[in-house]
């Protein structure tokens, strides 16, 4: 049920209840599609965890899955691309529309959904028929079917479509409020999508110039190194495309959900501007073990990579202080009392707080990956998936779950079927993912390789090779089983509430107030004179300036690396291994 007080004032005033209802339905469609992808991905993930624990479930799964690598491709693509893209492309349009009180261009937003949906279906088909077990990185010369590459092309293209929608909404808003600073959630969403639009150029070039025509038989060979470089031009920024929507919720909503205020609006803007600028130039740090570019460049990359930690540290302190402020308002005392005083009984809050805690492990392991020498120890071991399951697998996944806990009631007018089951799911996810990640990173230090069907080895060989890592590998398997329980508890709450939740007045979007930011945001609320913002914040509002800096930094980092590759082209025919 849509009531007048849940609508942004401008939408209500222009009497476009129908537009608001379409917006709700479309946002719900993004949410349901995204979590359906996670349902597939999270069903397969624990099988991989069991694989490392020495349990080979795959022979029993034929003909559904022919090999470990088919399952792993589905897991990576469904979770890493389809789940995150759908929810983000819904959220980063929906939240700004509410914040600004401006309706999004529904035709474009539906097109975004449709392109990604067709792409997802193509990729699913290609993975299901076992023609494309090329893993989520689809490194050539591994070769899959045209459906796979064309599907990925459509997914990538569709995922950048919120950018023009956001630019249009911001322009409309500005016409009503000339000279004002972009409201925070819109600013964060816009910088995220600008970053992603620029980043997408890499993988688009790889797909359109090489992999699409190659898979269609139009060209015979491809260059693996050039294509890996183009992939990581997008593949590093994708980690920010996973992280920034979670930060949008932490900065833009969480402080309100815990009953306080965001402690600093400018810090949030600085974080997003820095993430946008730093995300692109460092992509080749995924290629520390690739041949062909100088060690000087590898050294420079380490320094640049470490600088990306700055905005995340700023986030840790700003969000930490905002939480402390709320906790003390709620009567929390002493060193840790404020933390316990937070509203842990709200599953949306609990999920985000737990997500933030796992990020400590995620950040620390990221510093290891980003250092050239340490990277040499952990490269291509289980340490790497150990790391990114405490980033995208928990920070992003849990924050998106947290968002669904208020958004499903908000969009459908139905309450959660069980807050206790919701709390159970996120706590179990937290415990399971922590155990899993400790196991994976620890096993990686013994050199256990990632992407390896180790459970298919003869028993003696498995023990001879990985016996030393038996304790961490047991943790991996145990964590995986807990994650099965956690994810099905979550899906019961999510789908159950949409279908069977009790009807209740829909809650509003929990936009947070902030210190140092504009007081009001929708197009018809009282004006905020721009002079009241600091010069830095006004400068950061020039997003095209940030775009220019990002492009220059990226060219400076990539031309010297790509140039020699372009002069020593290798021509590799395709391999189909599994
Ligand atoms: C890879 C388990 C959830 C994204 C893996 C691997 C394991 C695993 C064991 C490593 C496989 C290997 O290297 O051979 C799980 C479990 C999950 C889970 C038990 C709990 C349900 C997620 C989530 C995401 C995710 C929520 C992202 C949103 C990925 C990606 C890979 C991966 C991108 C890399 C695949 C590759 O190397 O090609 N997962 N995962 N996983 N996982 Fe998960
Ligand atoms: Cu990276």
Residue 534 — pLDDT band, cuts 50, 70, 90?
confident
H, E, C per residue of 193-215:
HHHHHHHHHHHHHHHHHHHHHHH
How confident is the model at residue 531, as a pLDDT? 64
Ligand 1 pocket test, candidate residues 38, 55, 79, 87, most atoms within 8 A of CB: 79
Q: What is the mean pLDDT of the chain?
A: 94
Calculate what percentage of the chain has a pLDDT beyond 90: 91
Assess whether the C-beta atom of 450 lies below 6 angstroms from ligand 1. Answer: yes
At 155 the pLDDT is 98
Q: Is the pLDDT of residue 421 over 50?
A: yes
Q: Is 427 exposed, middle or buried (0-12, 13-18, 19+ CB in 10 A)?
A: middle
Which of 337-346, 381-390, 530-539 shows the lowest per-residue confidence on average (mean pLDDT)?
530-539
User: What count of Cα atoms within 13 Å lies in the side-chain half-sphere of residue 430?
Assistant: 21
- The finding on whether 34 has its CB within 6 A of some atom of ligand 1 is no
What's the mean pLDDT in 17-32?
Answer: 94
Residue 574 has pLDDT above 80, yes or no: yes
The catalytic position among 325, 450, 490, 491 is: 450
3 pLDDT tier (thresholds 50, 70, 90): very low
Candidate list 75, 228, 236, 269, residue with the active-site label = 236
* Buried/exposed code over 509-542 (b: 16+ C-beta within 10 A; e: otherwise): bbbbebebbbeebbbebeebeeeebeeebeebbe
**Which of the two residues, 311 and 5, has the higher pLDDT score?**
311
Summarised one tens digit per residue, pLDDT across range 403-413 is: 999 999 999 99
Convert the pLDDT of each residue in 150-195 to its tens digit: 999 999 999 999 999 999 999 999 999 988 999 999 999 999 999 9
Name the active-site residue from 228, 387, 410, 414.
387
Alpha carbons 147 and 154: distance in angstroms, whole number = 10
- Looking at residue 10, what is its pLDDT? 47
Residue 2, pLDDT score? 43
* Model confidence pLDDT, tens digit, residues 436-478: 999 999 999 999 999 999 999 999 999 999 999 999 999 999 9
Q: Is 240 a catalytic residue?
A: yes
- Kindly calculate the radius of gyration of the chain based on its CA atoms and give it in whole angstroms: 23
What pLDDT is attached to residue 228? 97
48 within ligand 1 shell (Cβ under 6 A): yes
pLDDT for the residue numbered 5: 45
pLDDT of res. 521: 87
pLDDT at residue number 4: 41
Give Cα separations from 266 to 39, 234, 257, 274, 317 (angstroms): 37, 28, 20, 12, 13
- The pTM (predicted TM-score) of the whole model is 0.96
d(CA 465, CA 460): 9
Residue pLDDT, tens place only, 279-293: 999 999 999 999 988
Q: Is the pLDDT of residue 13 over 50?
A: no
Tens-place pLDDT, residues 216-253: 999 999 999 999 999 999 999 999 999 999 999 999 99
């Amino acid at each position: 049920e849509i009531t007048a007080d849940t609508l942004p004032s401008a939408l209500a005033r222009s009497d476009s209840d129908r537009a608001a209802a379409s917006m709700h339905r479309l946002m719900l469609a993004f949410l349901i599609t995204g979590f359906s992808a996670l349902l597939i991905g999270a069903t397969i993930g624990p099988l991989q965890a069991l694989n490392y624990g020495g349990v080979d479930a795959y022979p029993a799964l034929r003909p559904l899955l022919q090999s470990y690598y088919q399952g792993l491709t589905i897991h990576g693509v469904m979770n890493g691309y389809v789940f995150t893209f759908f929810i983000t492309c819904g959220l980063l349009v929906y939240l700004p529309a509410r914040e600004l009180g401006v309706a999004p261009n529904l035709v474009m937003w539906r097109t975004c959904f449709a392109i990604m949906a067709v792409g997802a279906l193509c990729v699913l088909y290609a993975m299901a028929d076992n023609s494309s077990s090329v893993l989520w990185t689809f490194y050539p010369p591994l070769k899959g079917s045209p459906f796979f590459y064309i599907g990925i092309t459509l997914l990538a293209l569709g995922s950048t479509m919120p950018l023009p929608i956001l630019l249009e909404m911001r322009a409309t808003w500005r016409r009503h409020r000339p000279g004002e600073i972009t409201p925070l959630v819109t600013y964060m969403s816009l910088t995220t999508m600008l970053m992603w639009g620029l980043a997408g150029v890499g993988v688009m070039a790889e797909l359109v110039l090489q992999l699409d025509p190659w898979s269609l038989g139009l060209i015979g060979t491809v260059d693996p190194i050039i294509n890996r470089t183009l992939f990581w031009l997008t593949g590093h920024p994708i980690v920010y495309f996973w992280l920034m929507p979670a930060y949008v919720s932490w900065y833009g909503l969480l402080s309100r959900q815990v009953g306080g205020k965001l402690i600093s609006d400018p810090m949030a803007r600085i974080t997003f501007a820095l993430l946008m600028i730093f995300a692109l130039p460092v992509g080749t740090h995924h290629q520390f073990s690739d041949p062909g570019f100088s060690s000087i460049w590898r050294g420079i990359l380490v320094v640049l990579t470490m600088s990306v930690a700055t905005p995340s540290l700023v986030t840790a302190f700003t969000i930490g202080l905002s939480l402390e402020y709320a906790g003390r308002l709620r009567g929390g005392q002493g060193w840790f009392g404020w933390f316990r005083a937070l509203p842990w009984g709200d599953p949306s809050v609990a999920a985000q707080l737990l997500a933030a805690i796992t990020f400590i492990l995620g950040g620390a392991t990221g510093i290891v990956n980003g250092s050239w020498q340490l990277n040499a120890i952990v490269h291509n071991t289980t340490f790497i998936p150990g790391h990114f399951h405490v980033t995208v697998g928990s920070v992003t996944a849990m924050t998106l779950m947290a968002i669904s806990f208020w958004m499903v009631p908000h969009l459908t007018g139905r309450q959660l079927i069980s807050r206790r089951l919701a709390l159970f799911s996120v706590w179990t996810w937290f415990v399971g993912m922590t155990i899993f990640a400790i196991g994976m990173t620890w096993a990686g230090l013994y050199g256990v390789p990632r992407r390896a069907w180790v459970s298919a080895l003869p028993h003696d060989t498995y023990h001879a090779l990985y016996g030393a890592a038996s304790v961490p590998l047991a943790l991996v398997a145990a964590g995986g089983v807990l994650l099965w329980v956690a994810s099905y508890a979550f899906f019961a709450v999510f789908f159950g509430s949409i279908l069977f939740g009790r009807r209740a007045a829909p809650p509003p979007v929990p936009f947070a107030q902030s210190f140092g930011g504009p007081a009001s945001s929708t197009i018809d609320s009282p004006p905020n004179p721009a002079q009241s913002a600091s010069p830095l914040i006004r400068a950061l509002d020039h997003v095209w300036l940030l775009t220019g800096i990002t492009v220059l930094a990226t060219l400076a980092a990539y031309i010297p690396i790509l140039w020699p590759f372009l002069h020593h082209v290798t021509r590799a025919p395709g391999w189909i291994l599994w």
